[in-house]
Chain A
Amino acid sequence: MTAVSSPAVWPFAIVQSKLIVSPDFLVESARSDPRIRRLLINEARIDQSRGRALHHRVMTVPGRGSFELAYRYVPMPGGARDDATRPLHVLEGLLCNQPGTPIDDEVIDRYRHQLDARLERYLVEGWSGPPAPSHSEPMGEFDDSPDETSPPPAGVLVMLAAIGAAAVIVLIIRRLLSW
């Protein structure tokens, strides 16, 4: 196995061209820099002919470097609709500090929990002011050597050793008693 690193990811959400949830460091920088405030909205472009397919691109954040951007345009949970009676869609995704990190729909689903409450609030109360900050979460180690077999984790080894030791002790006691 080649453990490359542990990338960090931040979830984000955009509804009707309004940034509802944004990575905390972008929210912080956006206070003084209007370019940062509009960055995610301008970078996360959707090709509508691709339906719900995942979009990927690399985004450069001034002063912070390059980030992997993975996002999709999907109906809002709860079946909300816009003024034109179309299903309201949310552009949701992840910002990852290591460009090239493989991110699929399953990975996005794993970090969606930071979006749910804020999106619900948006549907009920509407939106005003800056977006809610999302916090970075480690994505976990990922393996880029697919042919190797992974050994069992350390916890399993300790447990097996403990069971073995207990079995030996039981055998010794039985031997002594039968003596």
Chain B
Amino acid sequence: MESLLQGRGAVRKRLLFFILLGWALLIVGDRVSNVRLFQGAEIAMFTIALASIVLLTGYSGQVSLGSGAIMAVGGYAAALTITNLQTPIWFAFLMAVLVSATFGAVLGAAAARLSGPYLAGTTLALAVGVPALANQFNFLGGEQGIFFDVGFPPERFGSDFSQDKWFFWISSFLALVSIFITSNILKSRFGRTWQAIRANSLAAELAGIHANRMKILAFTLSSALAGLAGAVLGMNLSLVAPGAYPLSLSFALVTGAVLAGISSLPGVMLGAVILVAIPEIADLVAGGLGDSEKVTTHLPGLIVSVLLIISVIFTPNGPGENIRRILHKKSAH
């Protein structure tokens, strides 16, 4: 029975699960409105972004507040590729992954010696600075940004196939593929090595693990995921601009990861749903508080911040951990 947990059997089961999930999304996609399809695409985007945080922080223990910056790198890479080279969509996303992975490798090498608050501070500076770089260089489009046009859905899908549905399909497909790959990596010895480093870096080194190298690898792979998420974000907006990757995005991602359980991958979908739901909830609440536009603008940010504080205080490992503890206590009696 134990052998089912490792080896090809588990991978095959996971593959089947993801294929079934893909089917379900296909069917759902046919039945919902454009608004929901757009939200679905957003959820897919957040799923990929949260996965990058789970890998980096949950597994290898490196705290990064700069996911937004890496997403920007990926987004701009994809937009520039499509706009300037007119390549097919998949190539643009591939470029996003490669460029942001490279960026992550360099960043990881620089950050490998930092830890805790120092790493957090460095990545925070990136989150603020990198999107603003676009204003300095003309080819990056400045404040206006660059259009990210993946084109219309293929004609064989018919004229009723909306742009939103097309984005939903592409986003969901990329989310499924990247989560599948990530979950395999995390279940492998790479994942266990990272967890060892996170638990006790020195002990891991003594056990023969090259901590620095593995940390850089974690940064690279996590950045690849974040870059892909950034490209998906750009596609959904048909635009990459500094305003699409604000500081609040990095904070929202960290909050989502903590809420959903930072050290386990399955929670990323739940975290993504929560992140997309927050502005909707804020709208409802703001509607009840009177129609002030200022409230509607700032309420989502407030909710995210409050949730982050609450979850860090009460459920630092995610609500799953607390639930498990309660159930365990119950069963022990």
A binds B: no
Which residues of chain B have a CB within 8 Å of any CB of chain A? Answer: none
